């Protein structure tokens, strides 16, 4: 049983996945941020791989990508920073980013290095389903990594069921068709989540986009197993002088 399976077997609800950008706020902050998240209640760490043109990210996360790249973050440096992270980090860790830098790095090389650390899964929102099925999925499986697909309110029921069969770890449920960090009408989101719950999918459901505080986290968790918080946490880190205390204050406001 891998870390994500173990987590969702043990914890069926209120799973907190927190997104952070590698190399932000400082180049060498990555491990410190991850440790602070684990210490203060994050169940999953979603580690963003900085890219100059991130897909679907709002201005706050885009700015954190820009800052991380300016700091000098690269894919190879990220793997070097993570080399011994399992000595201290035991929660599931997912690498999230765009397909282009992964292809530039070499897809199999990327999976090999990710698995050797080991991280638990990958989210590449712009990897097409067809290419996953016909080329990349076999490589991901060979290295024992989970691959998490995204679904939206516009995804057809047939396609949701297909992506559920392809996805391992969990399904990433985009709360609405907009960028991260935007305000959401959670009444509509709850109807959408209730519909997904009634489909009895095989994967656990983690909701992302627009989850920013205790209220939105609890709303998302009514009909899903958990939720992702990204933009609000990045904001909490922007001007933090102490990553541990800033993270503790932020996560306490969500889960306590």
Does residue 32 have an active-site annotation?
Answer: no
Does residue 84 have an active-site annotation?
Answer: no
Q: How many other CB atoms sit within 10 Å of the CB of residue 137?
A: 16
Put simply, whether the predicted model's pTM sits higher than 0.75 gets the answer yes
Handedness of CA 163, 15, 222, 10 (dihedral sign): positive
Place of tokens 């205390």: 245
Domain hosting residue 243, numbered range: 3-255
Q: Region 142-165: what's the mean pLDDT?
A: 96
pLDDT (tens digit, 9 = 90+) per residue, 58-73? 889 989 999 999 999 9
Catalytic residue among 57, 120, 146, 164: 57
CA proximity to 209, closest of 225, 186, 187: 186
Catalytic residue among 46, 120, 146, 164: 46
Residue 229 has pLDDT above 80, yes or no: yes
CATH number of residue 166's parent domain: 3.20.20.70
CB 173 within 8 A of CB 206: yes
CA proximity to 162, closest of 209, 203, 106, 223: 203
- What letter does residue 227 receive in the DSSP assignment? E
User: How many structural domains compose the chain?
Assistant: 1
């Amino acid at each position: 049983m891998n870390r994500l399976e173990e987590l969702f077997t043990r914890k069926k609800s209120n799973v907190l996945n927190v997104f952070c950008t590698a190399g932000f706020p400082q180049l060498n902050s990555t491990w410190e941020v991850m440790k602070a998240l684990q210490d203060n209640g994050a169940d999953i760490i979603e580690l963003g791989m900085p890219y100059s043109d991130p897909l679907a990210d709002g201005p706050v996360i885009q700015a954190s990508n820009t800052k991380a790249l300016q700091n000098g973050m690269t894919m190879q440096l990220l793997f070097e920073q993570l080399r011994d992270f399992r000595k201290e980090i035991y929660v599931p860790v997912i690498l999230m980013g765009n397909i282009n830098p992964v292809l530039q790095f070499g897809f199999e090389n990327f999976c090999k290095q990710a698995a050797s650390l080991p991280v638990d899964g990958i989210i590449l929102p712009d990897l097409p389903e067809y290419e996953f099925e016909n080329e990349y999925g076999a490589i991901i499986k060979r290295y024992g990594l989970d691959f998490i697909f995204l679904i939206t309110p516009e995804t057809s029921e047939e396609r949701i069921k297909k992506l559920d069969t392809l996805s391992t770890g969990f399904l990433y449920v985009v709360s609405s068709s907009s960028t991260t960090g935007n305000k959401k009408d959670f009444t509509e989101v709850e109807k959408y989540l209730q519909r997904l719950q009634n489909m009895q999918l095989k994967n656990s459901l983690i909701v992302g986009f627009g989850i920013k505080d205790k209220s939105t986290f609890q709303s998302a968790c009514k009909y899903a197993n958990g939720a992702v918080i990204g933009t609000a946490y990045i904001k909490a880190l922007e001007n933090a002088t102490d990553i541990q205390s800033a993270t503790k204050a932020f996560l306490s406001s969500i889960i306590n």
